Structure 1
Amino acid sequence: MSKKTRREHHEEHADESWLLPYADLLTLLLALFIVMYAMSTIDNKKFEEMSKAFNTALSTGNGVLSFNSEVKTEKSSSKNSDNTLPTSSDKKKQRELLAKQEQEDMEKLKKQLDQYINNNGLTNLLNTKLNQSELTISIRDNALFDIGSAVVKPESRQLAVAISNMLQQFPSYNVIVSGHTDNMPISNSEYASNWDLSSDRALHFMKILLTNPNLNPSKFTSTAYGEYHPVASNNSDVGRAKNRRVEVSIIRKYTDGGEQQLQVQNK
């Protein structure tokens, strides 16, 4: 009888096996709060060390925390991302390469123009100049116009066509066609001033250039300078003849802003 009573008393003893999963849950919750606190701090190095420690302590194979590997992956992807973004150094190198290519192209075009001038005996009427801002083709007025007129002479239209064909090599560049006169007052019924004459001459010559369908009119501008941008003294006939001109300027894209225009080639 006493044995039976002892057996029943033993069977009524409370089962405490639930304490194990409960303790595991508390441990995981503690780990979660510590990780959340670590994530709120800025010190990534400490976070990685803490994450590694908890992985070692709590991992059962797959690992409760995998933040360490995630942080490394994030870092590596961040590095890869940084590598794909162009740096200021990369942009500078790219610009230098483009500027070098532009210089070579403009030198090539200048040689073509100079060869055309020499082959056609136009050395006294045309010249080219290449500097750090533009390539300029300067044409004396008597090569294109009669005195006091802005109408391009029929025999001179071939020159305009030849220049327009060469400009096709630079379809994306801006081109300025400018008219210039000497300081002698204009004296005819058609033009009231040198401004008017230089403006019409630039416009008429530009229109002939743009008869070439391969040129983009939106890249072209005509402007008038009158007598106010001389290249020689107006005190002599020779100087005044040099000042009466039309200039076609191909504007560079890749130049160092703010620097003076330095002539690098003038044949």
Structure 2
Amino acid sequence: MKRFSIVIFVLIILFAGFFSYFFLFRYIPVRNMLDSYKKENSMLVSELNKMKSALPKKEKKVEVMGSLKEQISDFLGDVNVNEVQNKLEITLPAQKLFPPGSVEISKEGRDLLKQLGNILKGIEGKVIYIEGHSDNAKITGSLKRKYPTNWELSAARAVKVVRFLIEEVGVPPEKLAAVAYSEYRPIADNATSEGRAKNRRIVVTLVPR
């Protein structure tokens, strides 16, 4: 009887040891692994939902940009309007805005900027950059005393347009920013007079905030 009791006791010890081994080294790691998988799955579902919710917004944004492009093109006629990477670029040739070698806005330029400004006033959620660009011709004569390089000239023209839009048209100043690129972002060959004329320009760029 005593021997039988010892056998039973040993079996109980072995069973307890096996159960402890299973619980500590099998069950707990598996449960931890399952918890980790559940957490990762929850994060993936959350990210997927964010991506799904962003899709309609992106489509709506593209649709609004396309509508705005058509509106400006129809209103301003032959002015070049392009949509580039969710930005809208309106290119105004310098000869439509300024007399040769001047930073004062011409009568034609004032009329054009008034038309454009009335559209810009109603646009929400955009920063409006007024970019001044020039050709690579050196500045000479009396103009050189005030504008030694194309940096100063392109900056002065951009600022003139910004001030006109604020003071004469009523575009809110917090929507606007003046930028100068001088001769360093050409869109045509400066070796020809036609190319230089294309490079002298003001670009109005609408960028989402």
Length-normalised TM-score, structure 1: 0.57
* Partner secondary structure for residue 132 of structure 2: strand
Matches within 5 A, 1:160-175: 160-175=113-128
One of 182, 191, 197 as aligned partner of 2:135: 182
Q: Note if contact 1:132-1:252 (Cα within 8 Å) is conserved in structure 2.
A: no
One of 174, 179, 183 as aligned partner of 1:218: 174
- Cα deviation for residue 149 of structure 1 reads 1.1
Q: Partners in 1 of 2:176 and 2:47 — Cα distance?
A: 32
Q: Note if contact 2:62-2:86 (Cα within 8 Å) is conserved in structure 1.
A: no
Structure 1 or 2: more helix by fraction: 2
Matches within 5 A, 1:214-253: 215-252=171-208
Deviations 1:173-195 (Å, cap 9, x if unpaired)? 11111000000011123311100
Deviations 1:120-140 (Å, cap 9, x if unpaired)? xxx2xx211102141000000
What code does the residue aligned with 2:138 have? Answer: P
Matches within 5 A, 1:73-112: 87-112=46-71
Runs in 1 of length 4+ with deviation above 3 angstroms?
Answer: none
Q: Partners in 2 of 1:196 and 1:89 — Cα distance?
A: 49
Q: Partners in 1 of 2:118 and 2:53 — Cα distance?
A: 29
Q: Note if contact 2:132-2:203 (Cα within 8 Å) is conserved in structure 1.
A: yes
Q: Partners in 2 of 1:238 and 1:97 — Cα distance?
A: 43
Q: Partners in 2 of 1:89 and 1:160 — Cα distance?
A: 45
| CA RMSD between the two structures | 2.2
- Cα deviation for residue 150 of structure 1 reads 1.1
**Unpaired runs of at least 5, structure 2:** 1-27, 29-41
Question: Which residue in the other structure is 2:156 paired with?
Answer: 200
Length-normalised TM-score, structure 2: 0.72
Q: Partners in 1 of 2:197 and 2:157 — Cα distance?
A: 15
Q: Partners in 1 of 2:91 and 2:192 — Cα distance?
A: 19
Q: Partners in 2 of 1:239 and 1:169 — Cα distance?
A: 34
Identity of aligned residues (%): 31
Give the total of aligned pairs: 165
**Unpaired runs of at least 5, structure 1:** 1-42, 44-81, 254-267
Q: Partners in 2 of 1:210 and 1:98 — Cα distance?
A: 31
> Larger relative contact order (C-alpha < 8 A, sep ≥ 6)?
2
Q: Note if contact 1:180-1:227 (Cα within 8 Å) is conserved in structure 2.
A: yes
Q: Partners in 2 of 1:183 and 1:176 — Cα distance?
A: 22
